[in-house]
Structure 1
Amino acid sequence: MTDQEIQQQIYQYFLIEAPELLQTIERDLYQLLSSHSVELVHNLMRNAHTLKGSAASVGRETLKTVAHHLEDVFKSLYDPNIEFDRELSSLLLEGYECLKLPLTAEINGIDYNEAEILDRTADVFARLQAKLGDFFGQEAPVLNSTDLGYDVVAAIFQDSIPEELNQLEVTIAQGDIENIRSTLQQQAEFFLGIAQSYNLSNWENCAQQVLDMLSTDPDDETLVMVLKSP
């Protein structure tokens, strides 16, 4: 399979996955505005994170940027003391529209003005940050099975980790070494955080070894050899 065929296959997968993620985010956001739920916030943040990675894998930097902003905002909504008044609800829906409009255009093969999207995104999310005040930027809490109503560790291994590893596989297939380094760094930090939060010592050791390896700034050939090793 040629590089072009690989890229096309990755993009087709993105076009299949993105509408499902967008629909889920919209559904969960409207439910959250009606009734605050830690599980809904968790799902919103996770799906925005997945969309961010998917957009990055196909080189859609504008979509990646908007999804990243949305993920950061969702991360601020865990606190039960947040009041979802009319202003905050309206701003959250505006933030969602910043993602929905260009992503829907991308899915349907329609051109969109990336500069306008980014300008609108910057404005909406600046107002969201101001509205959220001290809630914005708070670290997401470590949630247990009681909080979410299901086995968190099992869900991580069934959903989050396969998604992250698939993202890494896609990035490796694209062959951009700098992008591979960046993705590997982000995912190792992600796995390390999960491992430390849920006392998964083997995963913690693996993630730390990857970070230690990256800290030595290996040359491209060494990095490729490590990734291809069993």
Structure 2
Amino acid sequence: MSLNPDIRDQAYQFFIEEAQELLQVLESGLLELREDHSTPKVHELMRAAHSIKGGAASVELSAIELLAHRLEDFLKALYSDSVEFDADLESLLLQGYDCLSSPLTEQIESGSYDEEAALLTAEPVFAALEVRLEEALKNADNYIPSSNDLGVDIVSSIFEVDVVQSLEHLQEIVDNPANFDLAEELQGTLDMFAGFAELFNLSGFSDIVQTSQTALSQNPGSVLEIIKVTLADCTIAKDRVLEGDRDRGGEVSSALIELAQSDVSAAFSGDLNTEEFSFDSQDDNLWGSPTTTDPLAEDVFGTIPDAQVVAEDEPVEVAALIDDHNIDDIFGTIPDAQVVAEDEPVEV
């Protein structure tokens, strides 16, 4: 399968360089597994396979992504105390490694690989591993190693590698939006981040993910703007986590909340319907109907009952109207200190 020329870019080169290092980590670790199958060692192997899986997905090497995912599952089963590390298991795991490394090396060296052949070659090896690790695989997803087990801060480890790589990929999408399916790319990243938020119980990070998903659903026409705001929010969240925040893991910005609340694109995409526009109707909207009372006048004078509304030509007794409204209510009370004697000169 040849790689899409549109994504032969910096991301692909980064993946190629990283993949070679990760393959070395896998091979050397598997060869030492019988002597050292501690939790940190198993985690190191699993993380290497996981990183290859994520990198392959980002550059559309789907079969390599699948092979790395399967190998990651088998390595995850090695956390179980029930696994017996012997020569047979070592041999099967090394064969599984070869099923991944061969097509990946072919891709690195030639720029393409035989996807169908890679999957067919791996099928019997992975089937044998499933039989050998059957019991451990059943509970593999239920075991999450603690930081003490691993000898590292797993939250920092995930955010330093996986989250950073995903954010770099989002930045690449922002820089070259024409090369990507924007909605699909964003959704894939959000799915990954949702898993991290749930795994580490980071409610603020989860809020960012959920709000971004809502924004994508509400405003599919504004997906690039949603990616930009999500990238900004998640970058701040990543920094906070790496600084030690293990409670919230970031906060949703007002910009992302706004994108999630309404169809902002519709407000700018519709054309003005001039046929329905009427200056008469606008007069009514702006000034009200002739019988509408000015609210400012109500505040000052109060509301004149209908019975007191007089015809234009009918004489009006001004005194009668004033009698009905206390003069202090209309103009307020003038403090005594401000009353000026009739004959006292006033400085203007």
Partner of 1:99: 100
Partner of 1:32: 33
Determine whether 1:188 maps to 2:193: yes
Cα distance, 1:31 vs. partner?
Answer: 2.2
Contact kept in structure 1, 2:46 and 2:72, CA below 8 Å: yes
Partner of 1:153: 155
Partner of 1:23: 24
| Consecutive unaligned residues in structure 1, runs of 5 or more | none
Cα distance, 1:167 vs. partner?
Answer: 4.0
* 1:162-201 correspondence to structure 2 within 5 Å: 162-170=164-172, 173=176, 174-177=179-182, 179-196=184-201, 200-201=202-203
Which residue type is aligned with residue 125 of structure 2?
A: V
* Greater per-residue helix proportion: 1
Q: 1:208 to 1:92 in 2, by over 3 A?
A: same
| Consecutive unaligned residues in structure 2, runs of 5 or more | 233-348
Corresponding residue pairs, total = 223
Partner of 1:228: 228
Cα distance, 1:48 vs. partner?
Answer: 1.1
Cα distance, 1:79 vs. partner?
Answer: 0.6
Cα distance, 1:92 vs. partner?
Answer: 0.7
* 1:1-230 correspondence to structure 2 within 5 Å: 7-109=8-110, 112-137=113-138, 138-139=140-141, 141-170=143-172, 173=176, 174-177=179-182, 179-196=184-201, 200-213=202-215, 217-218=217-218, 220-229=220-229, 230=232
SS at match of 1:136: helix
Q: 1:105 to 1:166 in 2, by over 3 A?
A: same
CA distance in 2, matches of 1:219, 1:122: 42
CA distance in 2, matches of 1:31, 1:171: 40
Q: 1:40 to 1:222 in 2, by over 3 A?
A: same
**Identity of aligned pairs, percent?**
35
SS at match of 1:139: helix
CA distance in 1, matches of 2:212, 2:218: 11
Cα distance, 1:211 vs. partner?
Answer: 4.6
CA distance in 2, matches of 1:171, 1:132: 40
Contact kept in structure 1, 2:99 and 2:121, CA below 8 Å: yes
Contact kept in structure 2, 1:188 and 1:208, CA below 8 Å: no
CA distance in 2, matches of 1:87, 1:156: 32
Q: 1:205 to 1:120 in 2, by over 3 A?
A: same
Give the TM-score, by structure 2 length: 0.57
CA distance in 2, matches of 1:218, 1:46: 35
Cα distance, 1:139 vs. partner?
Answer: 0.8
Deviation by residue 1:137-189 (Cα, 9 ceiling, x = unmatched): 42152322211123333333333321332344456644113531441242232
Q: Which aligned segments of 4 or more residues in structure 1 are displaced greater than 6 angstroms?
A: none
Give the TM-score, by structure 1 length: 0.84
SS at match of 1:32: coil
Which residue type is aligned with residue 196 of structure 2?
A: F
Higher Cα Rg: structure 1 or 2? 2
CA distance in 1, matches of 2:209, 2:200: 8
Contact kept in structure 2, 1:98 and 1:117, CA below 8 Å: yes
Which residue type is aligned with residue 220 of structure 1?
A: P
CA distance in 1, matches of 2:91, 2:225: 50
Contact kept in structure 2, 1:52 and 1:64, CA below 8 Å: yes
Which residue type is aligned with residue 19 of structure 1?
A: Q
SS at match of 2:80: coil
Deviation by residue 1:20-77 (Cα, 9 ceiling, x = unmatched): 1111111222222322111111122222111111112222111111111111111111
Cα distance, 1:82 vs. partner?
Answer: 0.5
Cα distance, 1:128 vs. partner?
Answer: 0.7
Q: 1:193 to 1:46 in 2, by over 3 A?
A: farther
Q: 1:212 to 1:71 in 2, by over 3 A?
A: farther
Q: 1:227 to 1:35 in 2, by over 3 A?
A: same
